[in-house]
Structure 1
């Protein structure tokens, strides 16, 4: 697992979470820019996922491959799911959904790193 790429993903996700939290506190639904940022996070997550798959394909083995792949599937599924749910909820709760999504991503990155390095 790439340390720099993981760090960028964590920082970007936490920055977006803060932005979405401010929107929720201000009682605003996520606008076009907020939704595009969520798509950007999804793209970044996809890049990390490809890097993890390449890491696995080059012979590296985590402590538990099945758990690692399960976390990887969850990791790649969370941002698009949060995006879609936020689009369906045109109230401040859409911003709350994106906040929770963005707070979940760093937890998954850290867990993937733990499994990969242990």
Structure 2
């Protein structure tokens, strides 16, 4: 896993999560800017996943490739799913959906890093 790219993804996701959760607490529906920032976060997560998939072909594979692949699929699909659900819910709950989606992404990235680190030790 790419350290700086993973760190950037985590930091951006946590900042956006704080923003979305604050807007939800203030009873604000998702704005166009909120939806666009989630789309940008989705693109950042997609770049991270592509880099991780390319890394699978360099010869070092995780001990549990199926679990790693499952986390890759979940990581790339989670933000677009949250974005789609937020578009369906044009109330404060849509903003909460974006916040929850953004706060779960760092957990997925950290888990991918944990699985990848086990590979380098073994």
What is residue 22 of structure 1 aligned with on the other side? 22
- After TM superposition, the structure 1 = structure 2 runs for residues 72-91 of structure 1, keeping only pairs within 5 Å, are 72-91=72-91
CA drift of 1:94 comes to 0.4
Residue deviations 1:48-100, cap 9 Å, x none? Answer: 00000010011121121000000000000100000000000000000110011
Q: TM-score, normalised by structure 1?
A: 0.98
CA drift of 1:15 comes to 0.3
SS of the residue aligned with 1:90?
Answer: coil
For structure 2, which runs of at least 5 residues remain unmatched after alignment? none
Find runs of 4+ consecutive structure 1 residues off by over 4 angstroms: none
Query: Aligned partners of 1:57 and 1:91: how far apart in 2?
Result: 44
Query: Aligned partners of 1:80 and 1:60: how far apart in 2?
Result: 29
SS of the residue aligned with 2:86?
Answer: helix
Query: Aligned partners of 1:37 and 1:60: how far apart in 2?
Result: 34
- After TM superposition, the structure 1 = structure 2 runs for residues 9-88 of structure 1, keeping only pairs within 5 Å, are 9-88=9-88
For structure 1, which runs of at least 5 residues remain unmatched after alignment? none
2:100 matches 1:100: yes
Q: TM-score, normalised by structure 2?
A: 0.95
Give the alignment's Cα RMSD to 1 decimal: 0.5
Query: Aligned partners of 1:59 and 1:72: how far apart in 2?
Result: 18
